[in-house]
Homo-oligomer: A and B are copies of this chain.
């Protein structure tokens, strides 16, 4: 049985996320760390940090588009040495600013890759085969009266283009091989040990594929990478799946292409301004909308909690981080 440490001797960890995302972590960690939670205070965030967090060395962040770790926040944390985030993407962190201050970053690493890849394949099948739209059709009681439902497209044998063949993209490719799909990918450099066709240009990839699956990170280079020209190159039977970040697609152009039938459909787990979503998407039958849930399973939450804990323990014990984020 673990020895109970008096709370005034526990290491302080600042929590930079709304409390509803934090409940399960807090209850498991509270006998190991003293959590400093600005959301329980009436003070504005920055004032809270100035008053309470001057000696804080580590902070914990959960993503969701609600709060970025900004320069203003970092300015209020002079003792900060570590940011632990529970996501695989780090676009909610100002990485350059964090680096400039010599602060380390720990992230989810590859822990979410399988779940995200599973969701990407699920969204792909759903869009091609109209699963969510068929579920709506049945629940509305239309089957007995309208007869056959709109016909989908076959997945087996399709040409799939993976945008960003990192860990998640590789897991997607492995799964789709089992469906007899022909895989190709886009990345800056050709990967030496990969059997799939490489396109250094995403427009060329789209021209040669039936579906694009966005698995890359959001950076200044990938912002609006999937623009109108890429979608037109993908073509009217083409579909787009996004499990990366919303802003990798030019969302306004995508909605126009979806409405005008310039692409066939889209399966979207992420959006440019989530959780706000353009209302036009709600009326489209050729899209599947998912609330940024690709990495979230009962199993992954347990894993992320353990990983965050291990990173914090390692840091306070002066050991190397378990899953450091390295550019």
Given the known interface contacts A135-B288, A138-B289, the answer about A118 and B297 at a Cβ–Cβ threshold of 8 Å is no
Q: Which of B118, B155, B296, B299 contacts A125 (CB 8 A)?
A: B118
A274 within 8 A of partner (CB): yes
A129 within 8 A of partner (CB): yes
Q: Which of B148, B156, B293 contacts A149 (CB 8 A)?
A: B293
- Selected A-B contacts with CB under 8 Å, 15 pairs: A20-B147, A20-B148, A114-B154, A115-B156, A119-B131, A122-B131, A134-B290, A134-B291, A137-B291, A138-B282, A138-B291, A143-B274, A143-B291, A151-B298, A152-B296
Q: Which of A7-15, A170-178, A199-207, A318-326 lies at the interface?
A: A170-178
A43 within 8 A of partner (CB): no
Q: Lowest 5 CB-CB distances: which A-B pairs, in order?
A: A122-B125, A178-B178, A114-B156, A138-B289, A154-B299
CB within 8 Å of B: which A300-327 residues: 300-301
- What separation, in Å, do the CA atoms of A290 and B131 have in the docked complex? 7
- What separation, in Å, do the CA atoms of A174 and B123 have in the docked complex? 19
Given the known interface contacts A126-B126, A174-B178, the answer about A297 and B151 at a Cβ–Cβ threshold of 8 Å is yes
Contact at A153–B277, with CB atoms within 8 Å? no
- What separation, in Å, do the CA atoms of A188 and B277 have in the docked complex? 51
CB within 8 Å of B: which A86-122 residues: 114-115, 117-119, 121-122
A179 within 8 A of partner (CB): yes
Question: A130: which B residues are within 8 A, CB to CB?
Answer: 293
- What separation, in Å, do the CA atoms of A151 and B274 have in the docked complex? 18
From A115, A118, A297, A298, name the one whose CB has the most chain B CB atoms within 10 angstroms.
Answer: A118
Q: Which residue of B lies closest to A174 (CB)?
A: B178
Contact at B296–A151, with CB atoms within 8 Å? yes
Contact at A288–B131, with CB atoms within 8 Å? yes
Contact at A118–B154, with CB atoms within 8 Å? yes
Contact at B134–A298, with CB atoms within 8 Å? no
- What separation, in Å, do the CA atoms of A297 and B155 have in the docked complex? 9
- What separation, in Å, do the CA atoms of A121 and B175 have in the docked complex? 11
Contact at B277–A118, with CB atoms within 8 Å? no
